[in-house]
Amino acid sequence: MKNLLEMPLARNHLAKGRWSFSVSQARRSIITLHHGTRSCQLDSSKLRRTEQDEISLSPRICHTLLLPKHINEYKIRPLNSKNYLLGPLIGILVSEIKLKKLLAGKVDPVYRRYAQILQKNKGLAVFLSPKRISWVNDNLVGVVRVTTDKQEVWIEEALPIPSVIYDRCFGSNNRVRSKILRKQCATHDPTIKVINALVKLGKEQVYTLYGQIPRLQEHLPRWDIVRPENIATLLKQFPVAYIKPDSLSKGKGVTKVSTTLFGFLVEQYRETDNYRHLCVSSGEVLEELKPYITDRGFMVIQEAIPLMTFQGRPFDFRLLLQKDKSGNWKRTGVAGRISGEGSIITSPRSGGSVLNFAEVMADQKKFNPAEIAASMLNLALDLAKTIDDLIGPFAELGFDLGVDNTGRVRIIEVNGIPLKVSIKRLKNRHITRSAHQNPIEYAMYLAGFGGLYYD
């Protein structure tokens, strides 16, 4: 007789109106099944056995657990001899606008990939926004992918609140909503894990956090907080500097200020053009910054790092670290980001271009590329473990790292919900695939279904 520990597979018999899984009936036992935040007790001795050595669950239990109606197989994993997990059921937090696009058939290929990974693992990805959760009823109405005859449709389905939710919610308004979601999860069920842990890592937060750790201080640029009352003093301390909004992204508002004999040269990347303006006073510089000052009322200034150059243009690196299906940090990919012609921004979304590590390091005769690569990885792993211990859990972190003209690796920024634009533009199918796959595998691991992945 097969035991549940040996048979982690459940089958959904829709035609017969029952939901089945394999379990030993050697003796009477009260067991509890868990599906997301829903649970239900049942007497295993009273379960009906099928000819396939499976046990049929009653419609009442299916309804109580809100088991998905459209999938044929599910996994089952023991917590102990009395408690069993059904899944994996993983939540993907996105905006309501994105959900409406899915329902209209306008499918983001990344979302499709998330759903496919879970389907191949006999699980389910449910896409949700905070407004779709009913805390009182302990359920949600999410959007799921259904395949029939090699065609896909995206439908709404009532399901339990997943025990693990992967945050892919962008934009300032969505970040506010996902902060609220975290508070609601903590109140409703503290065991619900929302990854990544922070909606946005502010630059001040990153610099302050790492600046308190002696071994990391040498990798940080000099920096300070910009306010109207101190900008004149700071511009004297930082003859060439970058001033950045604390929480904006995609290069928006990044300003390079260089002190000249005639005042201050302000350079910005605005939409599609490089903007340059000579300001005669620090007050005029402040006026150029005002459109980008956040509600918190400040920006961050950091000394300009003398970066390595590729064909005369400065470049930095985006290094993507992600946790794997065992919960360990690993490097997924590294992209060299080269600033556009006359631009102060390296991001490819702001006019920059992307090459792989070997290509951008090919003409760096002064330094050993292997040593630079090792230094970057070791620093990123140190940074990731430090921030994960203090304010995690994170599924992934994107590190913007520069190498100065002495070969020292410097920290530019850390991204808590990193976009994959630079990594995707490497045009390496394996790296792009891993970048989307790893967080889902990690989410399955947290949900109690680690190590199941096959493709």
Asked if residue 204 is part of any domain, the answer here is yes
Determine the average pLDDT of the residues in 221-241: 93
Instruction: Give the separation between CA 439 and CA 423, rounded to whole angstroms.
Output: 15
User: Domain span at residue 12?
Assistant: 4-85
Q: Count the Cβ atoms, other than its own, within 10 Å of residue 309.
A: 15
Q: Is 454 part of a structural domain of the chain?
A: no
My answer on whether 108 and 185 are in the same domain is yes
Q: Which parts of 404-438 are beta strand (E)? A: 409-415
Say how far apart CA 154 and CA 152 lie, in whole Å: 7
| Sheet with 255-260, edge to edge strand ranges | 223-226, 299-303, 240-245, 255-260, 263-270, 273-279
Question: How far is the C-alpha of 265 from the C-alpha of 81, rounded, in Å?
Answer: 69
In the chain, what is the straight-line distance between the N-terminal and C-terminal CA atoms, in Å?
A: 30
pLDDT, tens digit, 9 for 90 and up, residues 10-68:
454 333 334 445 444 445 578 899 999 999 998 877 666 555 545 567 788 889 999 99
CA-closest candidate to residue 33, choices 2, 1, 6, 58: 58
Could you give the CA distance from residue 115 to residue 145 in angstroms, rounded to a whole number?
A: 7
Domain-located, residue 205: yes
Report the Cα 201 to chain-centroid distance in Å. 12
Place of tokens 């007050």: 283
69 and 182 inside one domain: no
* 328: preceding bond cis by omega (within 30 degrees): no
As a whole number, the mean pLDDT across the chain is 86
Q: Are residues 441 and 316 in the same domain?
A: yes
Q: Indicate which CATH number applies to the domain containing 289.
A: 3.30.1490
How many whole angstroms separate alpha carbon 371 and alpha carbon 439? Answer: 28
Mean pLDDT of 184-193: 92
- Of 164-173, 365-374, 436-445, the range with the lowest mean pLDDT is 164-173
Are 244 and 357 contained in the same domain? no
Examine the fold and report which residue of 304, 319, 343 is the final residue of a domain before the chain moves on. 304
| 336: in domain | yes
Percent of the chain exceeding pLDDT 90 equals 59
Do 439 and 356 lie in one domain? The reply is: yes
Number of domains present in the structure of the chain: 4
Is residue 191 domain-shared with residue 209, that is, in the same domain? no
Say which CATH number the domain at 316 has: 3.30.470.20
Q: Are residues 293 and 359 in the same domain?
A: no
Quickly list DSSP for 14-43.
Answer: TTTTEEEE----SS--EEEEEETTEEEEEE
**C-alpha distance from residue 261 to each of 155, 258, 268 (Å):** 63, 10, 20
Q: Assess whether 256 and 397 both reside in one domain.
A: no
User: For residue 175, what is the domain's CATH number?
Assistant: 3.40.50.20
* Most confidently modeled range among 16-20, 226-230, 345-349: 226-230
Report the alpha-carbon distance of residue 452 to residue 123 in Å, rounded: 10
Spatial separation of the C-alpha atoms in residues 421 and 349, rounded to whole Å? 8
Same domain, 311 and 392: yes
Tokens 């946005």: give the residue.
200
Res 218 pLDDT > 50: yes
Q: 282-327 pLDDT, tens per residue?
A: 999 999 998 887 655 578 999 999 999 999 999 999 999 999 999 9
Based on the domain organization, do 27 and 119 belong to the same domain?
Answer: no
In a domain, 107, yes or no: yes
69 within domain boundaries:
yes
SS3 state of residue 322 = strand
Asked, for residue 442, whether it belongs to a domain, the answer is yes
d(CA 209, CA 169): 24
**Half-sphere exposure of residue 55, counting CA atoms within 13 Å on the CB side?**
23
Question: DSSP secondary-structure letter at 196?
Answer: S
Most confident of 44-53, 247-256, 371-380, 390-399: 371-380
Nearest Cα to Cα of residue 279 among 268, 270, 294: 268
Q: What percent of the chain has pLDDT over 70?
A: 86
Question: 256, 277, 304 — which closes off a domain?
Answer: 304
Q: How confident is the model at residue 181 (pLDDT cuts 50, 70, 90)?
A: confident
- 441 and 357 housed in the same domain: yes
71 and 155 share one domain: no
Residue 64 to residues 44, 123, 411, 448, Cα–Cα distance (Å): 17, 18, 50, 21
Domain end marker among 180, 195, 210? 195
Is 257 part of any domain? yes
